[in-house]
């Protein structure tokens, strides 16, 4: 199914390229967040998981720093993570009830596959700031989500105050300059909500408007500044 109507400027694109365009566009459009509680077994098998996580390697990476890493949470580690989620809640709210602690712990068991996304603020060239590193990590994560979608799995990103807790950072072995960005969950889709409306081009694209008089440069659009 073509997601986008034919656009001006694509009339001369060959059929093979248009098939690829439609495939990529469809993949991006059908990807949606499936909450961990709506993900069930089976999750990706080892070969599928290697393909999914390997997609992250195609993300932009200024300076080839590899400023991000993934830490998977196998089944054998879920109970420990659950305990840490409970401790993280009590760390920030000592008055939390037993039911609230159990609710926090339950989040460790919700999806067949779970991993933490970590970004390093100082790895490699310190001149490449944290914002660029987070952008690279975000691109890597999007690649993972799209590959998971292509293989028929649901996925979700989750965050929360526990990501900043000392007990969680200690559990995952985070260094002093590393940040826990989010958890990523994957599994088979048990149920899904109706897809939300997507923003359209004009909602997020604008053009830089330059007033040469107000700027005081005297430069006119179309003029080569070097020729002045």
Q: Which of 105-109, 150-154, 199-203, 213-217 has the lowest mean pLDDT?
A: 213-217
Stated pTM of the model: 0.85
Q: Residue 19: pLDDT above 60?
A: yes
Q: Residue 149: pLDDT above 50?
A: yes
Q: Residue 209: pLDDT above 60?
A: yes
Buried b (16+ CB within 10 A) or exposed e, 79-114: eebbebbbbbbebeeeeeeeeebeebbebbebbbbb
Question: pLDDT of 177-197, one tens digit each?
Answer: 999 999 999 999 998 888 888
Confidence tier at 1 by pLDDT (50, 70, 90): very low
Radius of gyration of the chain (CA): 22
The CATH code for residues 16-192 is 3.40.109.10
In this structure, what token pair is assigned to residue 100? Answer: 């609230």
> Which residues, 6+ apart, have CB-to-CB distance to 38 below 8 Å?
154, 189, 190, 191, 192
Question: pLDDT of 98-141, one tens digit each?
Answer: 999 999 999 999 999 999 999 999 998 888 999 999 999 999 99
Q: Which of 147-156, 178-187, 216-225 has the lowest mean pLDDT?
A: 216-225
In this structure, what token pair is assigned to residue 87? Answer: 């401790």
Phi, psi values for residue 52, rounded to 5°: -65, -50
If one compares 26 and 9, the residue with the highest pLDDT of the two is: 26
DSSP states of 86-116 as a string?
A: HHHHHHH-TT--HHHHHHHHHGGGSSSEEEE
pLDDT, mean of residues 203-208: 94
Confidence tier at 175 by pLDDT (50, 70, 90): very high
Q: Residue 166: pLDDT above 50?
A: yes
Question: pLDDT of 44-69, one tens digit each?
Answer: 999 999 999 999 999 999 988 999 99
Specify whether the CB–CB gap between 132 and 62 falls below 8 A. Answer: yes
Which sequence spans correspond to the domains of the chain? 16-192
- Report pLDDT for 211: 83
- Report pLDDT for 6: 47
Query: Angle at Cα 71 formed by Cα 69 and Cα 74, nearest 5°?
Result: 160
């Amino acid at each position: 199914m073509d997601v986008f109507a034919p656009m001006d400027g694509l009339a001369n694109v060959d059929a093979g390229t248009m098939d690829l365009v439609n495939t990529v566009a469809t993949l991006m459009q059908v990807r949606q967040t499936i909450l961990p509680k709506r993900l069930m077994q089976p999750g990706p098998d080892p070969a599928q998981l290697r393909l999914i996580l390997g997609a992250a390697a195609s993300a932009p990476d200024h300076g080839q720093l590899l400023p991000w890493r993934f830490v998977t949470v196998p089944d054998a580690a879920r109970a420990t993570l659950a305990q840490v989620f409970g401790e993280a809640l009590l760390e920030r709210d000592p008055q939390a009830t037993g039911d609230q602690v159990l609710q926090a712990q339950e989040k460790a068991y919700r999806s067949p596959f779970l991993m933490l996304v970590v970004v390093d603020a100082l790895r490699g060239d310190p001149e490449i700031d944290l914002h660029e590193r987070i952008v690279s990590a975000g691109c890597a994560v999007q690649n993972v989500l799209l590959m998971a979608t292509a293989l028929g799995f649901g996925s979700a990103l989750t965050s929360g105050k526990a990501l900043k807790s000392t007990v969680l950072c200690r559990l995952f072995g985070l260094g002093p300059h590393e940040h826990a960005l989010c958890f990523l969950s994957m599994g088979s889709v048990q149920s899904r909500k109706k897809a939300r409306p997507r923003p359209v081009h004009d909602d997020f694209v604008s053009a830089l408007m330059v007033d040469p008089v107000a700027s005081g440069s005297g430069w006119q659009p179309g003029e080569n500044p070097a020729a002045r």
